[in-house]
Amino acid sequence: MRTSFTGDPSPASDADHAPAYDVVIAGCGPTGAMLAAELRLHDVRVLVVDKETEPKSFVRIVGLHIRSIELMAMRGLLERILPHGRRRPAGGFFAAIDKPAPTGLDSAHAYLLGIPQPVIERLLEEHATELGAQVRRGCAVAGFEQDDEGVTVELSDGLRLRSRYLVGCDGARSTVRKLLGVGFPGEPSRNETLMGEMHVGVPQEEITATMAGIRETPMSFWLRPFGGGVYSVLVPALGTGDRAEPPTLEDFRQALRAIAGTDFGVHSPRWLSRFGDATRLAERYRAGRVLLAGDAAHIHPPIGGQGLNLGVQDAVNLGWKLAAQVRGWAPDTLLDTYQAERRPVAADVLDNTRAQRELMSPEPGAQAVRRLLTELMDFEEVNRYLIEKITAIGVRYDFGEGPGLLGRRLPDIEVKQGRLYDLLRRGRGLLLDRTGRLTAGGWPDRVDHLADPAAALDVPGVLLRPDGHVAWIGDDQRDLDVHLRRWFGEPAGSRGDRS
C-alpha cells in the first residue's frame, strides 16, 4: 500500500528510508508540545515542527480546567505552572451562568487556573525539550507520503524526513488533516469576534459609562484595562472576513462604533486577532500512520473554555499508546482506542458548546430557557453534572461492563507513599494492590506495583493506565492478567516487535 499526499512539488529527496524519527508532530501548540513530552517519557524519538518562528505572542488568557490541572500534577508540571496563573473558583462556566461550584467536587485540584496561552505553551514546550524532544520552528509540514513502514514528511524548506508516524497537531486549519483527505463536517462560522490589545484615547470613566449602557449579553463586548495603559478589546466583527488574515485597527474602530457609538479613540495596537464560532469534528482521528489531535481534530466556539483542555487531554490519551506502538508492545487494537475514546468526548464538548451558545442568545425564548436552567442549577446534582462535564472530570471511557469507577480517572488521592499522581509521573501503568496477593511482575518495564496503598480506596485492586484512567478493578490475578494483556500487551520476554 502506498498513498501519496503531496501539496507542493517535491523538493529533492534526502530522506533516508530508515526512519530518523519515530514520530514527527506538526504543530508546537499546547497539543503538540504535550504530546511530544508524553512520547519522550517512553524514549520515543520525536521531532516537532512549527511553521511559526516564535511561539504565539498574543496574550489570550485561557482557563485550565480541573482535569488538565490534574494531568499537569500527574506529570510533575503543576509546581512550574501555578506561579504563572490565577486560581479561580471552578463554578460559573456553563454558559456563564453565575452559580458557585458545588461543594465537595471530587478532586484535589478543584479550581480553574487562568493563565496566558503563550505562557502555558512556553512551559509545555520547555518541558518537552527538557525531556529530549527536538523542536524545529519556522517551517511547515507541506506534504507527506505514507507506506507500510513509515511516513516521508516534506517540510516547507524542502527537507524530507522519514518517520514511523506523523501526528497533525497543526490547529483548526490543519494541513495534515486536509492532505489526508479527512472530512471536517459541522457548522460554519456564523459570527466572528475581534480580539486585541491597544491604547485608548478617552478616560476610563467615559468607557465605564458607555459600556454600562450597551452591555446586553455576557461576553458580547468588552474593553478592559490590561495594565500599562493598554486595554484588552473584544468586540463582534462586522460580517465575516478572511480568518487567515489578522484584522486591521480600522476593523476594530468600525466594530466599536457599531456597538458603542464610539471607537474610544483606540490606537497603537499590540496585537490584533479574530476568531469565529464554527463547530466541526474530524470524521477520523487516524488514517494508517497519520493521526490528528487537538484543534486539528475538533473546533468549537470558546464558550466554557474547553478547546486547549481537550487538546492536552487528547495528547495524554494518545502519547502512551503511540509510544507502545513504536516500542513494539502495543496490543493490536490499542492505537485505535485513541479515536474510540477521544472522539466521543470531543463530540460531547461540541454539543455542550452548541447548547451554551443557544443559552447566551438574547432571543426571548433562549433567555427563558436560560432562566429555567439557572433555577435548575440550584439542584446540587444538576450543577455538579454540568461542572463535571466542562472540567472533564466526568469523562468515562467505555471499557465494557463493570463498576462505576471503571473507565473513569482516579482522583489524586493520598496513598501511604504520598500522593497518587506523584507515582504516575513516568507515564507508566500502576497496580494499586490492597490484597497483598496481586502482581504485575510480567510487565516490569510498563507497569509499577504499589502494595498496600492504604488510601481512600474501597476496592481490593485497581489497575491504572498511564493516563490515570481505571482499566480494571478486582482481586483475581487471572482476571488481572487478562486486563494487563489488553492494555499492556504480552509480558516482557514473550513479544515480537510489531511497530
Cβ contact 140:158 at 8 Å? no
Number of residues in the chain? 499
Does 175 interact with ligand FAD (rule: CB under 6 A)? yes
- Among 41, 73, 95, 141, interactor with ligand FAD by CB under 6 A: 141
- Which region, judged by CB under 6 A, interacts with ligand FAD, from 125-133, 305-313, 433-441, 470-478? 305-313
> Using the rule CB under 6 A, is 29 a contact of ligand FAD?
yes
**What is the bridge-based pairing of β-strands 414-415 and 418-419?**
antiparallel
Name which of 303 and 471 has its Cβ closer to ligand FAD: 303
Choice between 34 and 431, CB closer to ligand FAD: 34
Contact 64, 115 (CB under 8 A): yes
Report the distance separating Cα 264 and Cα 26, nearest Å: 41
- Tell me the per-residue interface mask from 192 to 221 with ligand FAD, x by CB under 6 A, - otherwise: ---x--------------------------
Q: Which residues between 98 and 137 bind ligand FAD (CB under 6 A)?
A: 117
Query: Following DSSP, what letter does each residue of 328-383 receive, concatenated?
Result: T---TTTTHHHHHHHHHHHHHHHHHHHHHHHHT--SHHHHHHHHHHHHHTTSHHHH
Residue 317, class by beta-carbon neighbours within 10 Å (0-12 exposed, 13-18 middle, 19+ buried)?
Answer: buried
Rule CB under 6 A: choose which of 171, 196, 394, 429 binds ligand FAD. Answer: 171
Q: Which is nearer to ligand FAD, 26 or 71 (CB)?
A: 26
Q: Of these, 163, 232, 306, 317, which contacts ligand FAD (CB under 6 A)?
A: 306
235 interacts with ligand FAD by CB under 6 A: no
Residue 227, all three cell numbers: 495594565
Residue with Cβ nearer ligand FAD (71 or 440)? 71
From the CB of 293, what's the least distance to ligand FAD, in Å? 7
Question: CA–CA separation, 436 vs 442, rounded Å?
Answer: 17
Which listed range, 21-29, 331-339, 359-367, 464-472, lies at the site for ligand FAD (CB under 6 A)?
A: 21-29
Q: At what angle do helices 364-376 and 336-359 cross, to 10 degrees?
A: 110
Q: Which of 70, 295, 388, 467 binds ligand FAD (CB under 6 A)?
A: 295
* Among residues 308, 330, 390, 463, the one that binds ligand FAD under rule CB under 6 A: 308
What is the pattern of x (binds ligand FAD, CB under 6 A) and - over residues 262-291?
-------------x----------------
Instruction: Pick between residue 141 and residue 464 the one whose CB is nearest to ligand FAD.
Output: 141
Closer residue to ligand FAD, CB minimum distance, 178 or 449: 178
52 forms part of the interface with ligand FAD (CB under 6 A)? yes
Residue among 155 and 330 whose Cβ is closer to ligand FAD: 155
Piece of the chain touching ligand FAD by CB under 6 A; list 44-52, 78-86, 327-335, 425-433: 44-52
**Alpha-carbon distance values, 465 to 108, 393, 426, 460 (Å):** 19, 16, 12, 17
C-alpha cell at 214: 450597551
Contact call for residues 285 and 293 (beta carbons, < 8 A): yes
Choose, by CB under 6 A, the member of 15, 28, 81, 377 that binds ligand FAD: 28
Task: Check binding of 60 to ligand FAD (CB under 6 A).
Answer: yes
CA distance 344 to 390: 14
Residue 168: CB minimum distance to ligand FAD, A: 8
Select the residue interacting with ligand FAD from 307, 453, 461, 491 (CB under 6 A): 307
Vertex 97 angle, CA 350 and 31, to 5°: 35
Could you say which of 15, 23, 24, 26 contacts ligand FAD (CB under 6 A)? 26
Strand 61-64: give its sheet, edge to edge: 61-64, 111-116, 86-89
**How would DSSP label each residue in 445-488?**
TTEEEEE---TT--SSEEEE-TTSBEEEE-S-HHHHHHHHHHHH
Rounded to the nearest whole angstrom, what is the least distance from the CB of residue 248 to ligand FAD in the complex? 18
What is the nearest approach in angstroms of ligand FAD to the Cβ of residue 294?
2
Sheet holding 267-276, edge to edge: 222-227, 230-236, 192-199, 267-276
Distance spanning both ends of the chain, measured CA to CA: 16
Of the candidates 329, 327, 321, which has an alpha carbon nearest to the alpha carbon of residue 443? 329
Regarding 468 and contact with ligand FAD (CB under 6 A), the answer is no
Helix, strand, or coil here: 388? helix
Positions in the binding site for ligand FAD (CB under 6 A): 26-32, 49-52, 60, 62-63, 117, 140-141, 169-171, 175, 195, 275, 294-295, 302, 305-309, 311
